[in-house]
Amino acid sequence: MSGLSQHDVTARIESGLDNRVPDKTSRSLWQIFRANVLTLFNAIVGSSFLVLLLLGRWQDALFGLAAAGNAVIGVVQEFRAKRSLDRLAVLDAPRARVLRDGQIQEIATADVVRDDVLILRAGDQVTADAAVLEVAGLEADESLLTGESDPVAKDTGSDVLSGSIIVAGHGKARVVRVGAESFASRLTADARRFSLVNSEIRNSLNRVLRWIAWAILPVAILVVNGELQARGGWQDAIATGTWTAALVGVIASVIAMVPLGLVLLTSVAFAVGGLRLAGHKVLIQELAAVEGLARVDVLCMDKTGTLTEGGLRFDAVHQLTPTPDPGWQQALGWFASEPEANATARSLGAAFEDDGGFQSVSYVPFSSSRKWSGVTFGGGNGATPTWILGAPEMILAPGNSSSGDPAPRAAGGSADAAARTAEPGHADVLEQAGKLAGTGLRTLLLAGADTPPGASKTPTLPDGLRPVALLTFREQTRSDARDTLEFFRAEGVELKIISGDDPRTVAAIARRVGLDVAQGYDARSLPEDPLLLEEVMGGNNVFGRVSPDQKKDMVAALQRLGHTVAMTGDGVNDALALKTADLGIAMDSAAPATKAVARLVLLDGRFDRLPEVLAEGRRVIANIERVSSLFLSKTAYSIAIAVSFGLLQWQFPFLPRQLSFTDGLTIGIPAFFLALMPNTRRYKPGFLRRSLWFSLPAGLIVAASLLVLNAVAPSAGTPGPEAARSASVLTLTVVGLWILAVVSRPLNAGRVGVLAAMCAALVILLNIPLAQDFFILSWPPTGLLLAALATGAGGGLAIELLAWLHGRKFPR
């Protein structure tokens, strides 16, 4: 079999039979533009902007420039994030292995054509639908397609679907469907694409925006009537032309209700978070994954590649009999050189050579669920025909002598339970293996047999296994592991180590990196009952001999306990758990399928990137909650002012340009800085409830302060409309800055600097003639000035009381 020729490939590409589909790893430029510009609120703002221009009141249309600037910033920020993340995603794209012109080639997924012969090996993600031609123990995990987690054995003639993962064996398959006809491009693109997906923060904001959209029309009608009645009634206002001033007041009230910058700052915060993490070699495949970062309170880690460097070094042979079965060294050499050998078996190559004297007649490849592989040689040269290499307790445990089933469940989950119940000779071997594993060494057993493994869809161990030698391997812990784990413990994140290795080995590695653990829990004794599993997961932190299905179930159990779970891993056997976790984190060495389902990929494989990841997530989400309180307070007081002044048939107390003035000082400018400042507070669910519990009362306090001011204004003399508006602006700004100070707590140098700058800007602008003329502001008469300052201070004290009550109800 030689595969397609180059001429065949070219012909199929020209016929459109290749695997190319649009590689959309993110939203298109049009989608970004539409999401930031073509919105309901932008339509309201744009219409109001045009009306004011037609009325010749361009000075009151400043909010239109602010809205346009917000839209431009949003488009630019998201497009920059898209370009950066697209480049990283392309660098990280999986590749296909094909047979062409008699040679194996690695090509881009998009370059696969119909009738190509795929070379499939353990860890590969199938890139196009194909029909199996040759197999050697080929098993595929189709859980990403069907939801069924059991590996499916593939025979000659069966189909292997794109998107499935090869978990054992190897084989060849001819491509039958490519491009849009297959699962591959859709599945991989969906898994790798970053998008502004649903999240509590985003859903909460969208809910608030829907409420505001419903409120705008009735409030506007109420304000229209109040404005015209305050100007002598509908007929007089229309006859005298004062309806234009009334319309300006209506526009001011409507624009004040729209939280122009809130959605923008949320998108920008997510996008900036993605860019910052990209600078740290962390690929975010979904922008909203930063919310998951902030909420994580349990981190599950695979040992290999996460706590250890991943590379194994062969340590020593521990012979179990003075006269071992003949051919054992050659068998080890064969296991080391077999094309589908895993990293552990390959490390034997430095000590054992395959001299080519043995020819295999059957082979059972390694499976992470069986934890053993086997080979039967032909030739009748006097050597033992069958050799099994794998985990000692999986090979010698009772019930495994004639089946591939795991060991019986032992009470308490002890890895020594198998040794206590095994056959007498085997018990000694298991005890010796346990002592070696307890020192942190990975331990394998080589056993011989006279009959081949059972040939069925589920391979079984042969009878009469004879232990020949224990093989030990040494792992190097990551130099950054101890400090990284210490950081997570200090941040209140619970740590769980979940590994397929011997629990004693895993516990020894855990102690090396600073975890206080006596022994690991043997996952073969994990209870199947969900409630009992939750109890075990809550009481243990180190687990060994965990199967891929168990990893997924363990993560799900932690989630049922109310935890937000992050999972790190790099092996194919981690893919299910990463997909189930709230936040899947793949290392750079991970198989393409594992990276495809992860939300984050550590592109340089540095475990010590995770503290930066967590800190960035907490910064983004805590700051979004902080600035949302500002914007929602403004929306609340805008509605309250519009309704109360409309019902009282008073003129709306602000011009649109004056609201632009107060918004810039108390919300817009400071919110931009607050959204990008450091913030280490851990995120808790209930974002909208907490924000509204503060924002709604705060809005009512502001509205009450302005009502009091405008009620007492006549007693301070007979101020004109300009002086009354100036006093209202002063009161609103004082209370607004007080809200800003409360929301900014705990204060630090940066936040104090922002507050001081806004206060200074207020004083400076009120004393600059050009600003006074533009915003139609002036210092009110003494009596009205004192009233404005007094109502502002009273509102500020009420805000302080509200902040105290809020802190009692929602402690940090």
Nearest CA to 348 among 387, 320, 378? 387
CA 491 vs. chain centroid, Å, equals 18
Full DSSP string of 203-233? HHHHHHHHHHHHHHHHHHHHHHHHHHHHTT-
Beta-strand pair 386-390/542-544: unpaired
Nearest CA to 525 among 557, 560, 550, 498? 550
SS3 725: helix
Sign of the Cα pseudo-torsion (4, 6, 8, 12, in order) = positive
Give the DSSP letter of residue 350: G
Bridge partners, residue 446, by sequence: 389, 469
* CB neighbours of residue 94 within 10 Å: 17
- d(Cα 470, Cα 455) in Å, to the nearest integer? 26
Look up tokens 């008073």; give the residue: 650
- d(Cα 344, Cα 368) in Å, to the nearest integer? 12
User: Considering just the CA atoms, what is the radius of gyration of the chain in Å?
Assistant: 34
- d(Cα 578, Cα 714) in Å, to the nearest integer? 67
| Alpha-helical regions (H) of 327-450 | 328-337, 343-346, 392-396, 417-421, 424-438
Nearest CA to 727 among 782, 771, 663, 764? 782
Which tokens hold the place of 228?
Answer: 């015209």
Q: What are phi and psi of 749, to 5 degrees?
A: -60, -40
Non-local CB neighbours of 101 within 8 Å, separated by 6+ positions: 2, 3, 4, 5, 6
Which tokens hold the place of 561?
Answer: 């306990």
SS3 169: strand
Segments of 478-560 assigned E as strands: 494-498, 521-522, 542-544
Report, as residue numbers or ranges, the catalytic residues: 302
**Counting every residue, how long is the chain?**
812
Q: Are 401 and 418 contacting, i.e. CB atoms less than 8 angstroms apart?
A: no
Give the DSSP letter of residue 666: I
| Alpha-helical regions (H) of 119-199 | 143-146, 184-192
- d(Cα 768, Cα 494) in Å, to the nearest integer? 56
Q: Are 683 and 86 contacting, i.e. CB atoms less than 8 angstroms apart?
A: no
The burial class, CB within 10 Å (0-12 / 13-18 / 19+), for 240 is: exposed
Full DSSP string of 729-794? HHHHHHHHHHHHHHHTPSP-HHHHHHHHHHHHHHHHHHH-HHHHHHHT--PPPHHHHHHHHHHHHH
Q: Are 592 and 124 contacting, i.e. CB atoms less than 8 angstroms apart?
A: yes
624: amino acid identity, one letter: I
- d(Cα 258, Cα 43) in Å, to the nearest integer? 11
Look up tokens 């937000």; give the residue: 564
Nearest CA to 254 among 51, 68, 73, 33? 51
- d(Cα 593, Cα 135) in Å, to the nearest integer? 21
Nearest CA to 57 among 239, 252, 254? 252
Q: What are phi and psi of 157, to 5 degrees?
A: 95, -20
Look up tokens 């005298």; give the residue: 240
